[in-house]
């Protein structure tokens, strides 16, 4: 599973970076929540000169109406943004994974174990992202009264606000028993010595002369499982920006 998580992380990072770098556009977020996508031409003391994507008309946008500008390089400039908006930028929270075993709800301990493992893999390759510690995530969810069965009552954008992050990772791990494999092995040991054979009946009971043949055998039975992992990433607007399924 770790190998899959590492692959998913790479795709996820590329996806996030594509949103800010690959499009080669600047994004101006205004304080009323609207976005302007295009090119920042110049930044003056009062206004920002801007042209929309695929247009040539240049607009002057007052700085007092701008919350932040995300440049195509990935650099972000904040203007009239709240401290909350600045604090949550590029932060990622990993929700406890749903865990099913043979189509039944698994233990909460395993759910949090998978959450912690995901955090460890992602955090080791975090790049420009800042991953929230799972203990902090679970504590904030608990304070908000959100349990494992309550997440469906909230939008992903609302969960981002509650956790103070820009992205949330949601996942499901399902394990089902499939087939049973049995293996057996036998080992024969032949030993010969030159002792004279015993002549009495009782003596023959303890006779180890001549050729001795010893055979041992063992068998092993293994239960095989099918594991399916589903992972989704949402942004603070509630948009699903990444989805991946993997079966092994």
Q: Using CB atoms within 10 Å of the CB of residue 241, give its burial: 0 to 12 exposed, 13 to 18 middle, 19+ buried.
A: middle
Pairing mode, if any, of strands 211-235 and 104-105?
unpaired
φ, ψ of residue 33 in degrees (nearest 5): 95, -10
Superfamily grouping for domain 82-248: ABC-type transport auxiliary lipoprotein component (3.40.50.10610)
What gap in Å lies between CA 184 and CA 201, rounded to an integer? 37
Contact 121, 108 (CB under 8 A): no
Reading the block at residue 56, the tokens are 């040539």
Binned average pLDDT, 10 residues per bin, the chain of 248 residues: 52 49 74 88 94 94 89 82 65 90 76 90 80 94 85 87 90 80 62 54 46 62 78 87 79
| pTM (2 d.p.) | 0.58
pLDDT at 108: 81
* Residue-wise DSSP of the chain: -HHHHHHHHHHHHHHHHIIIIIT--EEEEETTS-EEEEEEEEE-SSEEEEEETT---EEEEEGGGEEEEE-TTS-EEESS--HHHHHHTTEEEEPPPEEEETTEE--HHHHHHHHHHHHHHHHTT-TT-EEPPHHHHHHHHHHTT--TTTGGGS-HHHHHHHHT-SEEEEEEEEEEEEEEEEEEEEEEEEEE--PPPP-SHHHHHT---SEEEEEEEEEEEEEEEEEEEEEEEEETTS-EEEEEEEE-
Q: CA torsion sign, 49 to 55 to 57 to 60?
A: negative
User: Where do the domains of the chain lie?
Assistant: 15-80, 82-248
Q: What pLDDT is stored for residue 98 in this prediction?
A: 86
The tokens 């494992």 sit on which residue?
148
- pLDDT, residue 197, reads 55
**Residues in the chain, how many?**
248
- Class of the CATH-defined domain 15-80: mainly beta
């Amino acid at each position: 599973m770790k190998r899959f998580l590492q692959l998913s992380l790479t795709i996820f990072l590329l996806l996030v970076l594509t949103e800010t770098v690959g499009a080669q556009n600047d994004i101006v977020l205004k304080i009323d929540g609207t976005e302007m996508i295009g090119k920042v031409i110049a930044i003056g003391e009062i206004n920002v000169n801007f042209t929309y994507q695929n247009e040539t008309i240049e607009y002057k946008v007052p700085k007092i109406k701008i919350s932040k500008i995300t440049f195509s390089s990935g650099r972000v400039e904040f203007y009239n943004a709240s401290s909350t908006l600045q604090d949550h930028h590029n932060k990622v929270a990993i929700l406890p994974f749903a865990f099913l075993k043979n189509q039944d709800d698994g233990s909460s301990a395993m759910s949090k174990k998978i959450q912690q493992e995901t955090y460890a893999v992602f955090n080791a390759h975090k790049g420009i992202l800042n991953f929230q510690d799972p203990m902090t995530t679970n504590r904030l969810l608990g304070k908000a009264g959100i349990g494992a069965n309550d997440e469906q009552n909230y939008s992903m954008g609302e969960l981002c606000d509650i956790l103070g992050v820009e992205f949330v990772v949601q996942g499901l791990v399902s394990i089902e028993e499939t087939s049973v494999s049995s293996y057996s092995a036998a080992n024969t040991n032949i030993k010969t010595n030159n002792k004279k054979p015993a002549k009495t009946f009782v003596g023959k009971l303890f006779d180890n002369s001549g050729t001795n043949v010893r055979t041992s055998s063992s068998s092993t039975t293994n239960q095989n499982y099918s594991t399916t992992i589903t992972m989704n990433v949402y942004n603070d607007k509630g948009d699903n920006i990444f989805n991946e399924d993997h079966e092994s």
